[in-house]
Amino acid sequence: MKKNKKKIFVTRPLLPKKENFQKKIDEIWESQYLTNNGFQHKLLEKELIKYLGVKNISLFSNGTLALLLGIKGLELKGEVITTPFTFPATVEALDWNSITPVFCDIDPITLNINPNKIESLITEKTSAILAVHVFGNPSDVDRIDEIAKKQNLKVIYDGAHVFGSRLNGKPVGTFGDMTMFSFHATKLFNTLEGGALTFNNDSLKEKLDLLKNFGIKNPEEVVLSGINAKMNELQAAMGLEVLKLVEEERQKRKKIKHIYEHCFKDVEGIRVITTLDDESSSYQYFVIEINKEKFGRSRDFVYEELRKYNVFARKYFYPLCSNFKWYKDNESARKTNLSIANKKIKQVLSLPFYGDLEEDSVNKIIQIILNSQKG
């Protein structure tokens, strides 16, 4: 098989037609309003409330700052129980709030925090559970909710991977005290960089909007210590244009997902992790797990084989957060406490997945993976 001339990345941003974005830029120039809750920002809030089916939303300059300020807004402190199997932003948002992450092992099928292991980690210092809907697979929200109610804990979801999906028919952004969404360029829905918090409690709206705007209530009053984490007008305008394309993009990704799934379904040692479809799926990632004993080759071997052909899959979320050097004295970060997460981190591979990925390329990627068994 020939090496691809062009590099194939794990994803490509969903881009509107340049002339449509240009129209938005013209509006912004005309208004001379570039940031600070301008027209585009207000409109995007409205559109996203509708699209995501949520009660309240606050927009941010990126998902990490949204999460960081959501944690602050909920006044979490002490210890928060979370997953090590996530992007660094999740646990770094706790670090920035001077909160100790308490790592909980993951479920071997969904790769989400394992609710059966949460309760034994609760101490008098625990203030919340921070769960991640990893690769779009929803966390066990019912069990988490039950534990949180019983133990009087808050629940915050990192929903960076679940834009627009529903769980048991309910919009995913309506669970727990708060959900964070990421609108980074690599996400299904993007605002270049950007993020949001969604929440049911109306009284949080004013607080979160203050937190991202230095705590400034009006020109005469600064009511809390905030920061600058505002989404600007160009970001919001991009969001308004990209939102129009999301449904079509989901359909294209669904097709690609089915090609991958069909070809991997009988392959010993390969398990598809992102199995959900239609409204339950965010179509954000297509992720497989490679069992070296059964497949005959390791994840790292397959990853390198793909690179030889100019295909850049990703080993998300390697390295595992609990293995970061600054957690070496954190008891919960010990490998013996997190055996599933430490095992899965060596097996998981995110394959190229975006609407414009050509069917030929998908078939070629599959072929490289299958050939690597022999190679």
Applying CB under 6 A, which residues contact ligand T4K? Answer: 9-13, 62-64, 86-87, 89-90, 132, 158, 160-161, 182, 184-186, 195, 312, 314, 316
Residues found in the chain = 375
Q: At what angle do helices 246-264 and 359-372 cross, to 10 degrees?
A: 30
For 326, which DSSP code? Answer: G
Q: Which is nearer to ligand T4K, 213 or 310 (CB)?
A: 310
Burial class (CB in 10 A: 0-12, 13-18, 19+), 18: exposed
CB of 30 to ligand T4K, least distance (A): 28
Q: Which is nearer to ligand T4K, 87 or 283 (CB)?
A: 87
- Residue showing tokens 């969604």: 198
CB of 83 to ligand T4K, least distance (A): 9
Q: Which is nearer to ligand T4K, 60 or 199 (CB)?
A: 60
Q: Which is nearer to ligand T4K, 295 or 349 (CB)?
A: 349
* CA pair distance 261, 182, nearest whole angstrom: 26
CB of 124 to ligand T4K, least distance (A): 28
**Which residue lies nearest ligand T4K, judged by its C-beta?**
63
CB of 87 to ligand T4K, least distance (A): 3
CB of 343 to ligand T4K, least distance (A): 20
Q: 243 Cβ partners below 8 Å, 6+ apart?
A: 44, 47, 48, 51, 189
**E strands in 109-153:** 126-132
Q: Which is nearer to ligand T4K, 112 or 182 (CB)?
A: 182
Q: Which is nearer to ligand T4K, 85 or 264 (CB)?
A: 85
CB of 355 to ligand T4K, least distance (A): 13
